[in-house]
Amino acid sequence: MSQDTISVRDIARQLPGVVRRAPAIAKGLYYYSIKNDQKELTLGTLIEHNAEKYGTRPAVLYDDRRLTYTEFNAWANRIAHYLRAAGLTRGDSIAIFLENRPELLAMVAGAAKIGVACAMLNTSQKGKVLAHSINLISPRMIVVGEELVDTFEGVREEVALGHDHPYLFMPDTDSLKDFGTTPQGYINLAEQVSAYRGDNLTVKDRPKLGDTAVYIYTSGTTGLPKAAPGSHRKFIKAYGGFGLMTLNMGPQDVLYCTLPLYHATALLVCWGSVLSGGSAIAVRRKFSASAFWDDIRRYGATTFGYVGELCRYLLNQPASPNDRNHTLTKMIGNGLRPSIWKPFKERFGIETVAELYASSEGNIGFSNFFNMENTVGFSTAPYALVKYHEGTRDPIRNAKGRMEKVKSGEPGLLLGEITAKWSFEGYTQKEATEKSILRDVFKKGDAWFNTGDVLKEIGCRHLQFVDRMGDTFRWKGENVSTTEVENIIDESGLAEEAIVYGVEIPGTNGKAGMVTLVPQDSSVESFDIDRLFRYLQDNLPPYAIPVFVRVTSAIEKTGTFKYKKVDLKKAGYSVDRPGERVYAWLPRDKGYTLVDEALVKRIDGGEVPF
């Protein structure tokens, strides 16, 4: 098989492996295809099933902690009892502001048992962005980890919560044993929960498959973060589609997860896959390239959840005789670039790369079911790749007002058809949901979800990711909204105009953020770049802070007053435009550095390890 094509012969070579997975595939297909939204099949019932069937098997591993399914289910039950006693009922929501640790999973599981949805706050957010994300959901309560109390205190007066005692504190310890010291104004959730019994609840108004289980935040394409409701159905689809059909997870499997659990890839895909086999999830607070393989050996991990950037970090580590001294055989995630796909598999001896394509809010997903190379796999959902305007996420309509599909092998904008079976859950904001829907695409009355992503078919209905379009780019495994960053910079009082976009850096995944700005009250030469950096640190998560800043006296526009963003992207971080200054935030530096030709050459040559 060549790098960019898949043939029927390539598929045929994988059939023996498919046959071996046949029982799991059949079971997975059942769960993946369930349509009845009123079915009492939820995240909570999955955990109760595993506690009954795999009670003594590990469910969650973290540092030196080991929780069996029986213990984890009992913990989730105590949380559910507490939330119910606090007056929460099916249809309510709470916000979760915790870093990766068992407490986060227990909270989501416990809330799910009584039909309470969890808004999974991005732990990198702060200031206005964090307050906005919380207020989007209007949760009744918020669970704040000890590690994030200071950050939340910065917005506490700006958020509206619907409970008399809304602030729940979770100590940054083994909270089943150590309740820590409670900050003023908070209720110690760990202490309160310990007073309740761990038996399964009898619930009159039982949650259903179609109910919202979590809210996942996405940058989308414009403005501040949007909240996408994720139903229990999405857990069940991951359980069946990824966990059983693709990975064939079993009780002996351990999935190592360093991806943030506020992301759908970690929470829905990875954890959903783990639950399908009565497997264990080994959680780490944050990714560490140097500790990765030691952790894999420590936990006996067979699987890990990835984004492409993470794989690049591992591949950049010095080669070691221990590179294949581990238990890892399979991985699931997205963004693994074709240029490192094969080198990564061969160096570390990985057998299965379950690359996928999906979005938190979307109605379509792809999975590399046949373990092909350089592909997100195929989908059973109806989709189309259509012609689009370069540099935007806008499809082209012909003279009849209809869209046109691209030829096989050509890049096209991916659309997912919205049907009764393939519904679009969208966002909490109706306006944002409607903006993502395209109507009268191929015929009058049809409706399609606009993913905003460009992919191409490489054979046998297998797609390959090409690019993320519009006003969003991906950096460090995170989606960054250009409009969100522009709005934050606009409020700084330092810039008269600011345009944000993504630029490519050789040897990296995704695109690094860059802003071109016109100073508010200073010249190009006297612009206070240090003040801008301090402001950005206070108001943006690290991955959203522009890596490059171009300071200029004017930004060129078209005749219709649109910015020539394409020209700015082409210029990148070059320093050959007279009268302008370019700054870079270099790795491990505490501020911006003025860029000169020598530094450009170092960056272009891959000498700066972004």
pLDDT digits (tens, 9 = 90+) for 284-337: 999 999 999 999 999 999 999 998 888 988 988 889 999 999 999 999 999 888
In this prediction, residue 220 has a pLDDT band, given cuts at 50, 70 and 90, of very low
Q: How much is the pLDDT for 392?
A: 64
Residue 570 identity = K
Q: How much is the pLDDT for 469?
A: 62
In this prediction, residue 113 has a pLDDT band, given cuts at 50, 70 and 90, of very high
The gap from C-alpha 424 to its chain's centroid, in whole angstroms, comes to: 18
Number of residues that make up the chain: 610
- pLDDT tens digit string along 532-557? 999 999 999 999 999 999 999 998 87
Q: What is the model's pTM?
A: 0.84
The mean pLDDT of the chain is 92
The gap from C-alpha 509 to its chain's centroid, in whole angstroms, comes to: 15
Q: How much is the pLDDT for 427?
A: 86
Contact 110, 213 (CB under 8 A): no
Q: How much is the pLDDT for 470?
A: 59
How much helix, strand and coil, in percent to the nearest 5, is found in the chain?
Answer: 30, 25, 45
**Looking up tokens 């895909």, which residue turns up?**
269
With H, G, I as helix, E, B as strand and everything else as coil, classify residue 91: coil
CA distance 434 to 426: 8
User: Is residue 61 predicted with pLDDT exceeding 50?
Assistant: yes
CA distance 556 to 564: 6
CA distance 207 to 574: 56
Backbone dihedral region of 348: left (phi > 0), alpha (psi from -120 to 50 degrees) or beta? alpha
In this prediction, residue 391 has a pLDDT band, given cuts at 50, 70 and 90, of low
Q: How much is the pLDDT for 471?
A: 66
Kindly report each contact of residues 351-355 with a partner whose C-beta sits within 8 Å and lies 24 or more positions away, as own/partner.
352/247, 354/242, 354/246, 354/247, 354/330
Neighbouring C-beta atoms of residue 188, cutoff 10 Å: 18
Name beta bridge partners: 283: 257
In this prediction, residue 477 has a pLDDT band, given cuts at 50, 70 and 90, of confident
Q: Which of 160-164, 213-217, 419-423 has the lowest mean pLDDT?
A: 419-423
**Looking up tokens 């939340």, which residue turns up?**
152
Q: How much is the pLDDT for 298?
A: 97
In this prediction, residue 1 has a pLDDT band, given cuts at 50, 70 and 90, of very low
Contact 18, 389 (CB under 8 A): no
Q: Virtual CA dihedral for 140, 146, 150, 154, nearest 10 degrees?
A: -10
User: Is residue 420 predicted with pLDDT exceeding 80?
Assistant: yes
Mean pLDDT computed over 54-65: 97
Q: How much is the pLDDT for 460?
A: 93
Query: pLDDT > 70: what percent of the chain?
Result: 96
Q: How much is the pLDDT for 578?
A: 92
